């Protein structure tokens, strides 16, 4: 880095120590900035990514707000064991979120946003490859693709259509028979009508990734303030002057809000109202599974993700819009467990009897796109949240885009669709 660049280095406070905050801090540090990460949890805190499926998915180029999602969601809400529900409550923010979701769930929105999601995912995948090479694959990156497993011919037909859309976007996708699927991953018995194989997808162990990134940041000189809550803000003339925390007043040149589902609490007093709802997900990890696949997969009808992590096997699913509530809904967990033998008959519900249930809250925007960028209201504030189920998948590319923004560089991608002010 040239001396002229060093003179422009900034002090940056990253508020939030989940995957998005850590990736932002990492790439800001790589750009030469002095970084402090402020995290409400302890050093061993459990963020919304640690227990997730660990997938990096260029195949997920369709945002959550898509045609048919509203109708499907309403049907699922009638089943207490279904993979989706919205807990009804009198809440103005929830109603605003729902109205904006309804407006976004159309074909034009998908056509407009899919190329951006594709580009972000492919850049993130490349970044994971670079990080894996740099750290000796300490977080278990496996580049063997993803299988979308379909029980019925009707679902397989829908997924074939998705494969055609992937081809139109330049992504690889193959429609496989049950026999071809079994030949690709012979370590697991599958009861399916067929599958779609996305060879560019991959997976890793999210907990090991967080550990590797935290270690790299610490060794690089970044400072962590654990167990520190945001209490308030001091602002003047379109700038933040300081943030008040449980550990005292903190100042910096730049303030990054990466608080995930807790964004509203973190930003209270700044006048920034982003439509955002927490979507609860669950996972169960078998330490000694009966069978162990080589390739991660998604059980299409059940919306259950299956990921081998070392010698363990993780099953994750559900999207429960329920506020900042991390309690376990037993019916949702039953729904996950009951669906597994339908697709993978070697497993039984008894296999999960004593398995701990992990829960995490994903920050969901109404249009299925993250919020990345600066709000017009402040010159020294940047926001990175709203990634929903794609936080791990889009972590590195988000970090790189944020490093560009914080360094006053033109971002690598056109991120105008991700503006935090798009609902202002």
Q: Give me the pLDDT at residue 326, please.
A: 92
According to DSSP, residue 142 is labeled: B
Alpha helices in 258-351 (DSSP H): 263-267, 330-343
Q: Give me the pLDDT at residue 3, please.
A: 35
Closest of 342, 413, 332 to residue 76, by C-alpha: 332
Name the one residue in this structure whose structure tokens are 């002057």. Answer: 241
Contact 48, 260 (CB under 8 A): yes
Write down the pTM of the prediction: 0.96
Could you tell me the two tokens for 352?
């999960």
pLDDT, the chain, mean: 95
Q: Give me the pLDDT at residue 73, please.
A: 84
The residues near 417 (Cβ < 8 Å, ≥ 6 apart) are: 112, 113, 116, 369
Cα dihedral: 60, 63, 68, 69 (round 10): 100
* pLDDT tens-digit map of 193-224: 999 999 999 999 999 999 999 999 999 999 99
Contact 286, 309 (CB under 8 A): no
Backbone angles phi, psi at 391, to 5 degrees: -60, -50
Could you tell me the two tokens for 273?
């109202």
Q: Which of 82-91, 123-132, 269-278, 285-294 has the lowest mean pLDDT?
A: 82-91
């Amino acid at each position: 880095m040239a001396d002229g660049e060093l003179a422009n280095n900034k002090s940056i406070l990253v508020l939030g120590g989940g995957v998005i905050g850590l990736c932002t801090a990492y790439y800001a540090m790589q750009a030469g900035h002095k970084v402090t990460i402020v995290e409400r949890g302890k050093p061993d805190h459990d963020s919304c990514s640690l227990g997730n499926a660990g997938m990096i998915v260029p195949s997920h180029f369709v945002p959550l707000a898509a045609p048919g999602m509203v109708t499907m969601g309403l049907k699922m809400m009638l089943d207490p064991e279904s993979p989706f529900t919205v807990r009804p409550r009198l809440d103005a923010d929830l109603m605003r979120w729902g109205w904006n979701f309804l407006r976004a769930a159309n074909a034009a929105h998908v056509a407009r946003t899919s190329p951006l999601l594709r580009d972000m995912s492919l850049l993130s995948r490349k970044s994971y490859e670079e990080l894996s090479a740099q750290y000796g694959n300490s977080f278990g990156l496996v580049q063997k693709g993803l299988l979308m497993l379909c029980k019925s011919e009707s679902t397989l037909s829908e997924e074939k259509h998705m494969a055609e859309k992937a081809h139109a976007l330049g992504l690889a996708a193959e429609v496989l028979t049950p026999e071809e699927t079994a030949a690709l991953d012979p370590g697991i018995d599958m009861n399916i009508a067929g599958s779609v194989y996305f060879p560019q997808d991959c997976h890793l162990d999210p907990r090991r990734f967080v550990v590797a990134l935290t270690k790299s940041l610490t060794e690089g000189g970044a400072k962590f303030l654990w167990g520190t809550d945001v209490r308030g803000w001091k602002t003047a003339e379109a700038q933040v002057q300081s943030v008040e925390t449980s550990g005292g007043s903190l100042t910096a040149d730049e303030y990054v809000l990466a608080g995930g589902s807790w964004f509203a609490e973190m930003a209270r007093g700044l006048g920034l109202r982003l439509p955002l709802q927490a979507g609860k997900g669950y996972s169960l990890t078998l330490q000694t599974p009966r069978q162990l696949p080589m390739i991660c997969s998604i059980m299409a009808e059940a919306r259950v993700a299956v990921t081998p992590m070392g010698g363990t096997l993780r099953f994750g699913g559900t999207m429960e819009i329920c506020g900042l509530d991390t309690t376990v809904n037993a019916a949702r967990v039953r729904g996950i467990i009951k669906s597994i033998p339908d697709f993978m008959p070697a497993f039984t519900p008894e296999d999960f009897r004593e398995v701990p249930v992990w829960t995490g809250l994903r920050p969901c925007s109404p249009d299925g796109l993250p919020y990345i960028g600066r709000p017009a209201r402040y010159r020294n504030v940047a926001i990175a949240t709203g990634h929903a189920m794609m936080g791990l998948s889009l972590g590195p590319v988000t970090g790189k885009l944020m490093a560009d923004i914080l360094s006053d560089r033109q971002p690598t991608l056109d991120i105008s669709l991700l503006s935090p002010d798009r609902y202002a």
